[in-house]
Amino acid sequence: MRNEHISSKSAQRLPTPAGPLVLTSKVLEDARTFFEDRGTFGLEGTAMIKGRADFDLVVPRQNARRDAYGQVNVEVPRVGQIDLALALGPDDLYVARIHSHPGDAFHSPADDANPVISFEGGFSIVVPFFGLGLRRGLDACAVFLFHDAVWVELKPGPVRDRWIVAEASR
Ligand SMILES: [Zn+2]
């Protein structure tokens, strides 16, 4: 299991992308709505973002748990992996995974080890506060880029903006 961390120093050694991935307001709103809804049950949610210029949120069947101490986790079982595969048309691709945390946004060891979308250039977005953080936009989220076989955190700011931004709202 991989859980080395992945400082912002390594972010400075990243190559320069041709241009940022521009996530649409709609896909981020869809994600926020889904996560907040799960949050009303005290549960995390997880989803994928597919597309190239226009994006769709794909929500697979998932098992979210909350124990008596309020510890939560969510996983995508085999049927959910099939949901994800079937949602992808011939010209589609997944560009990011996005999931919510009950509190702060970070990559847990399980998040690092999760093989989903762990390919060069894939993004992982973690939304704090059961999705409510997205009301403050992508800057309130933790964002990671898979590069050289590790997840590199892109802190909010110019380096992140070269890779991924939210569409300017109107
Ligand atoms: Zn997580």
Tell how far the Cα of 115 is from the centroid of ligand 1, in angstroms. 13
Tell how far the Cα of 170 is from the centroid of ligand 1, in angstroms. 31
Could you tell me where the DSSP H helices lie in 3-154? 8-12, 25-39, 78-86, 109-113
Please report, for the domain that includes residue 69, its CATH number: 3.40.140.10
Q: Do the strands 55-58 and 46-51 form a parallel or antiparallel pair, or are they unpaired? A: antiparallel
Q: Give tens-digit pLDDT for 81-110.
A: 999 999 999 889 999 999 999 999 999 999
In a domain, 7, yes or no: no
Mean pLDDT over 64-87 rounds to 95
Work out how many domains the chain is built from and give that number: 1
In a domain, 119, yes or no: yes
The whole-model pTM stands at 0.92
In a domain, 135, yes or no: yes
Tell how far the Cα of 94 is from the centroid of ligand 1, in angstroms. 18
In a domain, 99, yes or no: yes
Tell how far the Cα of 102 is from the centroid of ligand 1, in angstroms. 9
Q: Give tens-digit pLDDT for 112-126.
A: 998 888 889 999 999
Tell whether the model's pLDDT for residue 10 goes beyond 90.
no
Mean pLDDT over 162-167 rounds to 95
In a domain, 111, yes or no: yes
In a domain, 9, yes or no: no
The confidence score (pLDDT) of residue 9 equals 54
Residue 133, domain extent: 31-166
Task: Please tell me what DSSP assigns to residue 134.
Answer: G
In a domain, 133, yes or no: yes
Tell whether the model's pLDDT for residue 3 goes beyond 50.
no
Q: Give tens-digit pLDDT for 127-158.
A: 999 999 999 999 999 999 999 999 999 999 99
What does R_g of the chain's alpha carbons equal in angstroms?
15
Tell how far the Cα of 65 is from the centroid of ligand 1, in angstroms. 13
